[in-house]
Structure 1
């Protein structure tokens, strides 16, 4: 019987000891205070931003679960770990206002309340240079602990918030392209456009800056930093139209521009962009008297060779001709530079159509870079067949894309004149009533006012006597007859 009671006693005691042991182990992991840190987007990449910003960039919720705590003074400890950084705050924080907690009362502290915790003088494991710069891209743990101010006893677990920090790329400038030449106008409407590249930046605006380059011998990148600001404007879309309401641009002068992307929270700026948000610097020449090349013609010399001619101007320093196969996806532009008023294109394919355009510059190369060009509209010509080569002029005149008047003219008559591209076309024969077909001639000023026969089929002309649909084809009689 004694053995029976002993067995019962042991059976009861051991389970109780096991339960008690489990309970003690669990209790050892509990702390009288719980912490909950949260960080607001966009994340600040500089530690100094948490110390200096008046905006709420993070919150720390303190929850004393032990109701016996009454007005106990505590102190906080900060850890920033990740990407080879192991930063922690000092045990004694200079400039931190006293923090008191009471059981059952939640308390929310912002970065403004614990700013001293993020100051350089209170941090270990980071240099002054690292503190002033954004943290490198990567994953970081921002952790907090709370201690009794008097006994130095830890009252909470080490509680962390894991965040991924990444600097955003500044905008890419699109147009005007680098070193472009813009034709001066009495009514300028210059479109500036750029591409945003931010990923995690919010409330982004763009500060546009334009400066006049006073010394043409200086590199635009250097000259921009030295020049006074001509125009500055903040916009919220990646486009700005420069017009008469803004400072007047002087023909013949060079200008440079850049854009700064700015992310704000409230009244403060977020340091979330590389290069402080600044794009590259682009420059352009506001051309004074550099006219677009006109009266473009192509002349087939053989089944594989063509000559391109245009009306030259005395102020042209260099001409740039581009050509490529028409109708071929992603066809490569081939280029020829010249100082004459014609070029010869070789190794062309018989019976194929080609596109070409002619650009001119009135400037000389500066600081090792090619000058910019003003280009004509794209023209078209077709090569003759291999077995039937003909000496033929072809201006490839197509309607201009920018013609806004699309109202057809329905009473065009013989002997009237309409314009096709740069050329006035005088009608000799005419059939139809919009669309029209027939023959006529154009006069080429740089060929001793030679009259060249033209043919057209099913074309349309608007009420301003401009070609809006169809193509005018030209032929050439070496005897000069039409």
Structure 2
């Protein structure tokens, strides 16, 4: 009986201690429960917008995109020595976690006092040697998309879990490369070394504006049929430089650009790792590529060399290198004419004909490199006194040539190289005759057209001519073919004056004489001459039919042939 009571007593005592231990453990269970908010430490994680894409950026101290706040809520243990466990969940399934075996600096949490951990405090958890990465992260770069940064608190020495996960989310994005602005794609520019070419671009990235640098690259394209991208890939580099500005003035200190060439340029945005957290850009920070062409200079020709001849004033100048250049000549009498006479040529010379001797003429030469009529750049106005008697074809020379009227000019031309092209306004030479072309067709030395010949035997008088399939050499000399004068008897501009000069005799004096006629009016605009046999005079009319002047003849012939 006693033995049975003793066993019963021992059983009851054992049950009491078990019950007490159970109740004690039950009272402490909420502190270590896995339920949310039942751990002694509370974790809050904050991730600001546009966090860095590279993990290495989080191991520095210059970024403030991530912070963790810890609060010790355990009233029974006022001070805790803890460490963190970090997990990063990427949008493409990669998971990054801190290594438990790594050594971290203990974090002391005082009861009831929140502790904020900045990136300088968290940097050790992002170092490469302290990370375990599940999945592929080339160059330690987080993928674009939604990313969660989660932290848990562990007791420092035992590794016991003291908090639930505190997570912060952000969207990882690539920064946008710069946007090229000037010169625009496909521009046509004139290389002006004094003013230079201004290149401009605008930043498109949203963070790190003060730390971004730009690499400017300029290349020459050889195949203008290629796309801009291929032209840049295969082009020859002309100039490269780095700058923190968003513009670049390309001037005399840079390699010269060549007229007629096409160039392609690009700007790359980047951050120097030494200067701070690197930024990840789309397309490695490279902008689009733009092309531009360097046009030939289109400047008014200077100087203009003017020479007076019996057949007019011959103007010459240096040809422009622009392939589309055309020259616009304007001239007028300086004394009373207010109307500018116009002429256009693609050659670098022109002869102004039908001028009044011993009169002063103003002239200017402009250039146009487009098809726009208002896009003409004129040089300065100059003037010349037209005195053909003082020119190289003087009156004495004319007398000599008159004596040889009808004599064949020996063909001593040795140059047989064909002229490639001729243009209206050009001058060709047939023996002693100078022909100014009004219309011309053909190429490679064979030409057909019309013009005006200046006859040295008739004091340089101009006569209309035409020619067909003649051969011209590179000295503008006729080497084969015939040039024919145009005579229209009904127009009356060419008449026989022998009857007046020789008293109406049917047998004129032997030889060729050069009569001298003096008029008190200009013959420049005369288009028709009328003979009046009753008054024995000639009347001169202009293109409008108005009479310019009248001249009385001294001969006695009753009529003209």
Q: TM (normalized to structure 2)? A: 0.43
Q: TM-score, normalization: structure 1?
A: 0.49
Larger radius of gyration: 2
Higher relative contact order (CA 8 A, sep 6+): 1
